[in-house]
Structure 1
Amino acid sequence: MGRGGSAPRDTSRPLLHDLDERLGSLITALYPDERKRPGYARLARLIRESTGGTISATYLWELATGRKRNVTLEQLAVLAEFFGVPLEYFINDEVSRRVNTQLALAVALRDTRVRKLALRAEGLSSASLDALLAIVNEARRVENLERVSKQQEPPVGPPGP
């Protein structure tokens, strides 16, 4: 037994303690409008039709609600293929964080106003971009929205072709 009367944690096997959260994030990113989000039966059918893999609606619900965590690598591969994420998303915290940052950006860009703001900022000087970021950060603070940390921001790379 480890400290506090608990058994020592075996770190040699990946723990899927937050599989439900990761699966929920993917479902929300793919279907942001709750009213249009498919039920688990339809989602299971869509997974089968697009990947050829099978996961029952009940089992999908159990995974998404945290009632089950015993998932095979093959089932994770089917989920990864359907949602378009690397298999490691489900078992590696760093990969999960990186993918979630990219998903948040994709979800934000679905909003026409966010896209227009980003497109209109193209070509502005660094000083102007910094000023716009300061304004957006202040607006987020005023509206009591979660602060975006440097870790959550997508990596900045060289401009595309």
Structure 2
Amino acid sequence: MGDSEDTAGTTLAEKIDALFRVVRRADREQYSHEEVARACREATGDSFSATYLWQLRTGRRDNPTKRHLEALAQFFQVPVAYFFDDAEGAQVAAELQLLGALRDAGVRSVALRAVNLSPEGMGTISDMIDLIARREAEKNSPD
């Protein structure tokens, strides 16, 4: 995964954007701003427009109410601490990054086949992945 898929956002906008990019509908498409805003309106009874959500996601606004963040957390099924607590946010971001990687069929296939390997076998696979990643990085880096 490249930097564009990094989910360890530090700003509120980056954290919200990561949720949209990684947590997907059953058809694997991203949720629309309207779908999420509607669910948040229903959860809170407060006004919550698609435009407001887009503004939060892009950093044009950064002052949501606690109820709005709770509704977003509920919709995306993450703890509300994801938005407030740096340690909790980092843990959730790591889990989101894994979820994003597992959407890739090749990564999912390797992960599923590795489930029954011994710790030694997993270590060997991990070493091989590291070696290949280093070689590809060297090959692709400008001299």
Assess same fold via TM > 0.5: yes
1:78 is aligned to 2:65: no
Unaligned runs of 5+ in 2: 1-9, 138-143
Specify which of 129, 138, 159 is matched with residue 131 of structure 2.
Answer: 138
CA deviation vs aligned residue, 1:19-71 (integer Å, no higher than 9, x gap): 00000010101149xxx43442343234445x355421111111111111111
Do 2:44 and 2:67's aligned partners in 1 also have CA atoms closer than 8 Å?
A: no
Please report the TM-score for the alignment, with normalisation by the length of structure 1: 0.67
TM-score (normalizing by structure 2): 0.75
Structure 1 ranges of 4+ moved more than 6 A: none
Which consecutive unaligned segments of at least 5 residues does structure 1 have? 1-16, 145-161
Give the superposition deviation at 1:142.
3.0
- Is residue 101–residue 107 contact of structure 2 (8 Å, CA) maintained in 1? yes
Indicate the structure (1 or 2) with the bigger Cα radius of gyration: 1
Which fold has the larger relative contact order, with Cα–Cα distance below 8 Å and residues 6 or more apart in sequence?
A: 2
Provide the aligned C-alpha RMSD in A.
2.3
- Mapped to 1, the partners of 2:39 and 2:12 lie a distance apart of 20
Q: Measure how far apart 1:129 and its partner are.
A: 1.2
The aligned length equals 125
Separation (CA, whole Å) in 2 of partners of 1:92 and 1:84: 16
